[in-house]
Structures are given as C-alpha cells and as structure tokens.
C-alpha cells in the first residue's frame, strides 16, 4: 500500500535521474566523441539508459510497498486503467495544448539559448541546440539514409523514456504525493517535473505549461494512461523524421 510522500522526499528521484541524464549528455558524450563515437550513437546510449533505471526503480518501489506480482495489481497501483471516451477527449486536448504552447513558446527558448547561462554547449547538434541550423538528411550530425538500425534503436529509447517517466512520476510517486497534499499535489508535481528537465535549461519555460497541464489531467482523471499517450505522442515527432530520412 502506498504511503504519502512529500515533495522533498520524492525530489531525490527527480534529482538523481536528471543528474544522470545531464552527466551523460554533457560529459559522457563528448568523451566518447574523442574515441570516435558519433554524437547520435552516444545520445542513444547516455540519454536513454537513465530511463531504463527509472523502470527498474518502478519495480523496486512497487515491491517495497508489498504489492502482489501480477498484472492486475500492477496496473491498479500504477493507475494504468482502460480509458473512456471522455478520457480520450482529455488526451487529445492535452496533446493539442502541448503542441500549441511548445510551438508558441519555442521563440522564448531560442532566445534563452543565446544567453550564456542557458545556452547549450557548442558540441550539441541542431536538434537540441537552437543556436544551430539542422542539416537535411541528418539527425544529430549522423547521416540517416539507409541506416535502418536507427529506427528500432530510437523507438526502443522512446519506449523506455515514456514508460520509465510516466510509471515512476505519475504511476508510483504522484498518487503518494496526492495523499500528502491533496488537491494541491498536481501543482507541486508539475513544477518539479518541469525543473527535472534542467538539462534542457533553455526550454524550461516552453515545457512548464505542458508539465502543469499533464499533472492536472493526471490528477483530474486519476489515470496514468492519458499522460502516457499524450506525452508519448509529443515525443514521437523525431522518430517520424528519422523514418522519412532513413528510407530515402
């Protein structure tokens, strides 16, 4: 049975995982580049590995709580329920809202990226560096044409990303935060999830509205399924670009 948890106690899960991503992006990737590993390959390794650890953390916390090891109990505990027609409307609305606010605020992120405090490092490629222009046919400085292995590799990373985050943040921790803070929990949760993205410091203001909205919908509809779908669709766009360029 889940127990109430404070923001300060749950913050460690956010801080440690965010630091691992930051360390991988800002230190491990440039080091492996000196060994000849392309940035994109390093990104697939060092960005997505922490999300595997998030999924492992989900299972550990689930076990610590004393839950039974079966799918019915797991889905009930993580609020992975089948969604209704009304839930689908919330899902579509959340996704559209996310696209609109992220696109609308992207100029702010582009401006912040020019400031030294928020600016991404020069070795970041255009896809994650607003100070650079994207090269057609490339993803993170890696030529995509004919590289079919990239599609399942990126898709696998996407799966770990979405399910690792949503099952831990919204499935395991959020219900415990609700028990602690009640109707205010979604606000605290949205703020801390925004700050978790500090490795994309220039994008924090662009991320904030969607993070708050997603937390509110997860609280309002009492399900993790909606965030999984909406968040997953938001993060799928690069894969579509990859597929198009790979098959050219």
Give me the chain's average pLDDT, please.
97
Which pLDDT does position 115 carry in this prediction?
96
Confidence of residue 2 (pLDDT cuts 50, 70, 90): confident
Q: Is the pLDDT of residue 215 over 90?
A: yes
pLDDT tens-place string over residues 229-246: 999 999 999 999 999 999
Taking the C-alpha atoms of residue 134 and residue 26, their distance in angstroms, rounded to an integer, is: 20
Taking the C-alpha atoms of residue 32 and residue 117, their distance in angstroms, rounded to an integer, is: 25
pTM (2 d.p.): 0.95
Q: Is the pLDDT of residue 118 over 80?
A: yes
Q: Is the pLDDT of residue 150 over 80?
A: yes
pLDDT tens-place string over residues 83-104: 999 999 999 999 999 999 999 9
Which pLDDT does position 12 carry in this prediction?
96
Which pLDDT does position 78 carry in this prediction?
98
DSSP state for residue 167 in the 8-state scheme: I
For range 27-41, the mean pLDDT: 97
Q: Is the pLDDT of residue 11 over 90?
A: yes
DSSP state for residue 1 in the 8-state scheme: -
pLDDT tens-place string over residues 159-197: 999 999 999 999 999 999 999 999 999 999 999 999 999
Confidence of residue 248 (pLDDT cuts 50, 70, 90): confident
Q: Is the pLDDT of residue 128 over 80?
A: yes
3 state SS for 108-147: HHHHHCCCCCCCCCCCCCHHHCCCCCCCCCEECCEECCCC
Taking the C-alpha atoms of residue 32 and residue 41, their distance in angstroms, rounded to an integer, is: 10
Q: Is the pLDDT of residue 144 over 90?
A: yes
Q: Is the pLDDT of residue 22 over 90?
A: yes
């Amino acid at each position: 049975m889940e127990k109430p948890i404070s923001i300060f106690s749950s913050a460690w899960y956010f801080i440690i995982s965010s630091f691992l991503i930051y360390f991988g992006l800002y230190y491990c990737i440039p080091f492996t580049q000196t060994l000849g590993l392309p940035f994109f390959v390093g990104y697939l390794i060092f960005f997505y590995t922490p999300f595997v650890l998030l999924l492992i953390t989900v299972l550990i916390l689930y076990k610590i709580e004393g839950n039974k090891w079966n799918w019915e109990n797991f889905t009930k505990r993580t609020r992975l329920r089948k969604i209704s027609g009304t839930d689908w409307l919330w899902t579509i609305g959340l996704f559209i809202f996310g696209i609109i606010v992220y696109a609308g605020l992207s100029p702010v992120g582009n401006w912040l990226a020019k400031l030294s405090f928020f600016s991404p490092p020069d070795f970041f490629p255009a896809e994650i560096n607003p100070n650079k222009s994207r090269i057609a046919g490339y993803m993170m400085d890696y030529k995509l044409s004919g590289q079919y292995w990239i599609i399942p590799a990126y898709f696998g990373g996407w799966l770990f990303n979405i399910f690792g985050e949503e099952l831990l943040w919204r499935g395991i921790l959020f219900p415990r935060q609700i028990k602690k803070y009640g109707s205010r929990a979604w606000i605290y949760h949205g703020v801390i999830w925004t700050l978790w993205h500090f490795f994309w410091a220039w994008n924090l203001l662009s991320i904030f509205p969607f993070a708050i909205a997603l937390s509110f919908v997860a609280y309002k509809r009492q399900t993790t399924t909606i965030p999984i779908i909406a968040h997953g669709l938001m993060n799928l766009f690069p894969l579509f670009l990859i597929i198009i360029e790979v098959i050219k």
